[in-house]
Structure 1
């Protein structure tokens, strides 16, 4: 049995211009110990799918699926109370913008401690001890000094490490990383990716990596799902995808990589679409 299994997921938003279909019947599965990359350009529905899984979409969204199960637990029929017991503990998510995800009015130590209090029996000094352990585990310099720091007193990379510490605080079985390196410089990106992969290997949890960066996919993933306009174009193991892409959209993505340039101008996805590729 898969750790997470989603079948025929559809998401539609009510807008001023009428209904907008963000996802149109996509399937996802991920096993314990596996790294699944979901790749595609902005607007392809990558984040929407995971937010739907987490139950974090606004009321304007209509969500339907033939199946949405985590370890056999039906996520569609869970009460709000039962969902809160699962989300944040067994399933955690790292969001795109760490600064926007942290509360500016509270110290990072306090915010990490609140996660532990919500999902574990730790209290008092044991909470602070565990928070410092987590800060050390994600490579934050001077955990004692950073414990009472506010988010604005830390760099983007340090805030992202706090978000990772928060996500792994309760030893989740599934971690969703939504563009975890988008706002970071190249050096910090590599450190964060290495950290996520190391944490995944050490704990054996499932990891879903949402990205538009094919380099990240090549370095981290076991299996890849390629999305375009809310639909799944292709699914394959990472080696097969790069060596033998089957779908025209996948071929377009790979052809647009700088290392695959063959002339003065890189082809774009639009070139393939205009040629009738998809």
Structure 2
């Protein structure tokens, strides 16, 4: 049975010029112990689709779906109180821009302990012990001392490790990692990806890796969903995506990788396909 099952999900927002459709009728499944990469260029609807599943979009969002089920439970009909119990505990998310995602007014230790208090009802001593254990697990040096640090006192890589510690604090069944390495330099990116994959293998949780980086996809994913303009273009195993992509957009996306570039100009997807026609025909 799929851990997360989504059928015909659409997300729209009302604007001054009419309704804007950010996600248009996508299907998605992720299973325990599986890493699903959701890939596409910026604005393709990757993050919006996952935020809709978590119930974290603003009330102005218009969300429609035939099925949205987590671990056998219907997220569409579930009362808000029950959904709040699941989000952050059984489903957690690592957001983009770790420094911006942490509250600058509170220490990182307080913010992690607040997750443990809210979802697991731990006492103060148990919360502190668990926070130290989590910091140690994600490779933060001097975990006892670092609990008293504020986000601005830590590097971008350390803040991302704090976000990962917070996300895994309640041992979630599903972890959604939204561009977890975007704001980090190359060496730290590798460390964070290795950490995430080690945690995923050790805990057996399912993972959705949202990214536009095909290198990250190649290193982490079991299956890949390719999105463009809010629609799913293709879904396949990671080897099939790289060796024999079936959709023209996927082939164009791979052909536009900088490492494959020749000549004086970096290629773009529109060099290989008519993206306007693709958007209008999708």
TM-score by length of 2: 0.96
CA distance in 2, matches of 1:14, 1:48: 15
Question: Any idea what SS the aligned residue of 2:141 has?
Answer: coil
Assess if the C-alpha contact under 8 Å between 1:249 and 1:277 holds in 2.
no
| Aligned: 1:94 with 2:94 | yes
Q: 1:275 to 1:232 in 2, by over 3 A?
A: closer
Matched ranges for 1:253-268 at <5 A? 253-268=253-268
Q: 49-58 or 268-277, which moves further after superposition?
A: 268-277
1:130 is matched with which residue?
130
Assess if the C-alpha contact under 8 Å between 1:248 and 1:277 holds in 2.
no
Paired residues in the alignment total 278
In the TM superposition, what is the alpha-carbon distance from 1:60 to its structure 2 partner?
1.3
Assess if the C-alpha contact under 8 Å between 1:160 and 1:180 holds in 2.
yes
2:114 is matched with which residue?
114
Matched ranges for 1:21-100 at <5 A? 21-100=21-100
| Aligned: 1:215 with 2:212 | no
In the TM superposition, what is the alpha-carbon distance from 1:264 to its structure 2 partner?
4.0
CA distance in 1, matches of 2:66, 2:176: 21
CA distance in 2, matches of 1:58, 1:79: 17
1:6 is matched with which residue?
6
Assess if the C-alpha contact under 8 Å between 2:258 and 2:267 holds in 1.
no
Question: Any idea what SS the aligned residue of 1:140 has?
Answer: coil
CA distance in 2, matches of 1:257, 1:42: 15
TM-score by length of 1: 0.97
In the TM superposition, what is the alpha-carbon distance from 1:172 to its structure 2 partner?
0.1
2:198 is matched with which residue?
198
CA distance in 2, matches of 1:55, 1:276: 31
**Segments of 4+ moved more than 6 angstroms:** none
Cα-Cα RMSD:
1.2
* Structure 1: gaps of 5 or more residues: none
The CA deviation string for residues 5-60 of structure 1, in whole angstroms up to 9 with x for no partner, is: 00000000011221100011001100000000000000000000000011010111
